[in-house]
Amino acid sequence: MTKLAKVVLVVASVLSIVIFIAVSGFIGIQVFSGSTQLVTNERTSGVDEALLATYGVDYQSFRGTYRVEELSIPSTLGDHVVPADYIYAGESQGNRDHRTVILVHGLGGNRYSNYPLAEFFLQQGYNVVTYDQRSSNQNYARYTTFGYLEKHDLIDWVNYVRGQAPHQRIGVWGASFGGATAGLALGYDDMHEKVDFLILDSPVSSMEWMIGQEMREMNVGVLAPYMTWCGSIVNRLKLGFTYQDADVPSAMKRVSTPVLIINSRLDSLTPHFMGQDIYDALQGENKEIWTVDDSEHFEVWTDHNQEYRDRVVSFLKRHAEVTEQ
């Protein structure tokens, strides 16, 4: 090979690497931007009374029946506050030193969209905390990260409630995106020792799979795994973690908290395998999974309402000493 040919080969190789890095960086930034701003505060603000009505909940009647205290706590990871409704069961007589369940809503919801489940737990004698996840309603933290950063807001609320009710039963219920938040939170440090039970409804199990699926559905002529890889690298550079780090089954391998998983084989948004993967990762016998065949995403509550109630009450009676009402 002549000297000129060697120079041309080196220049071509360097240019190829530069072009690859530039293209990968551009794609990564686009994927990062799209995947970390999936909802906005404006689009998730306020009370959707029509939505609540579909679940048989009248907002005004609910607020008139139960004492609802609006409360915010500062985030320990970020400069935002985490707003919530602290709702008191009749049995608590307005006392926070009472058994409590924390509700974590899904993507596109807010703390009010949890009111149907809040009413159910209130009827079981639990105080309820339902809060706004990041980038939703009045929580102005910027990014959505499929539970990875969001888990810290839940951890803050668990610690707050545990401080108010140090010797009471504390539980967490999370749906869809909120299920990922809940699972990742309980798998963080010793958090599972502070929570007495966990219920996951149609949970997301993998940030990597969810973003990869979005890339596949876009069908833009670029390999989905490559776009996902690019996005994960940019995510690591900007936020300090990769998509693989937001993996719920891996996080929950050490969790000893009793867990109930609810999902459906018909769910195409968070497919059946997601809940099954979380269930399989859990060690020990304090775990249950209830799978239906015919419900779309997060519709088991409406399609099988009485059985949903019965199964949760049964789970609570076994693991949280709740008297059925």
CATH number of the domain residue 295 falls in: 3.40.50.1820
- Residue 8: inside a domain, yes or no? yes
- Do 192 and 307 lie in one domain? The reply is yes
State pLDDT tens for residues 203-252.
Answer: 999 999 999 999 998 877 889 999 999 999 999 999 999 999 999 999 99
Take residue 237 and report the two structure tokens written for it.
């550079």
Above 90 in pLDDT, residue 7? Answer: no
- Do 254 and 238 lie in one domain? The reply is no
What is the band of 307 on the pLDDT scale with cuts at 50, 70, 90? Answer: very high
**What integer is the mean pLDDT of 266-280?**
97
- Do 69 and 81 lie in one domain? The reply is yes
- Do 241 and 251 lie in one domain? The reply is no
Task: Indicate the number of domains in the chain.
Answer: 2
Residue range(s) defining the domain that contains residue 19 = 1-35+209-245
- Do 1 and 137 lie in one domain? The reply is no
Above 50 in pLDDT, residue 325? Answer: no
Please give the angle made by the CA atoms of 159, 261 and 43, to the nearest 5 degrees.
65
Sort residue 22 into left (φ over 0), alpha (ψ -120 to 50) or beta: alpha
- Do 159 and 281 lie in one domain? The reply is yes
Per-residue model confidence (pLDDT) at position 323 = 40
Where do runs of H (alpha helix) occur along the chain?
A: 3-35, 49-54, 59-65, 115-123, 150-164, 177-186, 207-218, 224-239, 248-251, 272-281, 300-303, 305-319
- Residue 325: inside a domain, yes or no? no
Per-residue model confidence (pLDDT) at position 324 = 39
- Residue 324: inside a domain, yes or no? no
Above 70 in pLDDT, residue 157? Answer: yes
List residues bridging with 262 in a β-sheet.
Answer: 201, 290
Per-residue model confidence (pLDDT) at position 54 = 93
State pLDDT tens for residues 64-73.
Answer: 999 999 999 9
- Do 166 and 256 lie in one domain? The reply is yes
Per-residue model confidence (pLDDT) at position 221 = 80
Mean pLDDT over each residue of the chain, to the nearest integer: 94
Residues 25 and 17: beta-carbon distance below 8 Å: no
- Do 84 and 233 lie in one domain? The reply is no
What's this model's pTM, rounded to 2 decimal places? 0.94
- Do 229 and 152 lie in one domain? The reply is no
State pLDDT tens for residues 33-52.
Answer: 999 999 999 999 999 999 99
Residues 100 and 127: beta-carbon distance below 8 Å: yes
**What integer is the mean pLDDT of 45-63?**
95
- Residue 157: inside a domain, yes or no? yes
DSSP symbol at 324: P
Per-residue model confidence (pLDDT) at position 40 = 96
Per-residue model confidence (pLDDT) at position 158 = 98
Per-residue model confidence (pLDDT) at position 322 = 45
**Domain stops at, among 245, 269, 301:** 245
State pLDDT tens for residues 108-156.
Answer: 999 999 999 999 999 999 999 999 999 999 999 999 999 999 999 999 9
- Do 120 and 266 lie in one domain? The reply is yes
Over pLDDT 90: what percentage of the chain?
87
What is the band of 321 on the pLDDT scale with cuts at 50, 70, 90? Answer: low
Per-residue model confidence (pLDDT) at position 19 = 82
Per-residue model confidence (pLDDT) at position 21 = 84
